[in-house]
Chains A and B, each alone.
Chain A
Amino acid sequence: MRRISRREFLKFCSYFGLAAVLPVDLSGSKREGFIRPPGSVEEPVFNNLCYRCGLCFKICPAKCLKPVSFTDSVKSWGSPHIIPREAGCLRCGSCSRVCPSGALQSVPPEIVKMGTARIEKERCLVWTRQKECLVCLEYCPVGAVILDEKGRPEVDPGVCVGCGLCEQNCPVPGKKAAIRVTALGEKRYYLKEKKYR
Chain B
Amino acid sequence: MSGSVFSRAKRKLPWRRLTQLVVLILFILFLVRTKFPGPGKLISPVFFRLDLFLAVTSFFSSGYRTGPFWPLLFLVIAVVVFGNFFCFWICPVGSSLEFAGFIFCRRRWRVGWKLPFWFRYFRFLLLGLMILISPFSLVGKLPYLAWLFDPFVITVRALVFGGGWLVFLLVLFVFSITFPRGWCFNFCPLGAFYTLIGRIYPKPWLRQGKQNAAHQSERIS
Contact = CB atoms under 8 A, between A and B. Distances in A.
A51 B150 contact: yes
7 contacts: A48-B61, A55-B45, A98-B34, A100-B67, A105-B66, A191-B64, A191-B66
A109 to B, nearest CB: 13
Contacts of A60: 36
Given A26-B142, A27-B142, A101-B66, A92 B36 contact: yes
B19 interface: no
Interface residues of B, number: 36
B153 A59 contact: no
Contacts of A134: none
B62 interface: yes
Nearest to B59: A49
Interface in B39-77: 40-41, 44-45, 48-49, 51, 54, 58, 61-67
A54 B142 CA distance: 22
A53 B36 CA distance: 17
Contact of B160 (A41, A49, A58, A191): A58
Given A61-B36, A102-B64, 16 more contacts: A48-B61, A48-B144, A51-B54, A53-B48, A55-B156, A58-B35, A58-B156, A59-B34, A67-B161, A98-B44, A100-B48, A100-B49, A101-B58, A101-B67, A102-B65, A191-B64
Top 9 closest A-B pairs, CB basis? A102-B66, A100-B45, A61-B36, A100-B48, A48-B62, A27-B141, A48-B61, A49-B62, A52-B147
A57 B161 contact: yes
Given A49-B58, A100-B45, A102-B67, A74 B147 contact: no
Given A48-B138, A100-B48, A100-B67, A74 B143 contact: yes
Contacts of A74: 143
Size bracket, chain A contacts: 35 or more
B36 A77 contact: no
A55 B152 contact: no
B30 to A, nearest CB: 9
A99 interface: yes
Interface of B: 31, 34-38, 40-41, 44-45, 48-49, 51, 54, 58, 61-67, 137-138, 141-144, 147, 150, 152-153, 156-157, 160-161
Contacts of B67: 100-102
B91 to A, nearest CB: 15
A55 B27 CA distance: 13
| Most B CB within 10 A of own CB, among A26, A101, A105 | A101
| Most A CB within 10 A of own CB, among B48, B67, B144, B150 | B144
Nearest to B140: A27
Contacts of A51: 48, 51, 54, 58, 147, 150, 153
A38 to B, nearest CB: 14
A57 B143 CA distance: 21
A76 to B, nearest CB: 8
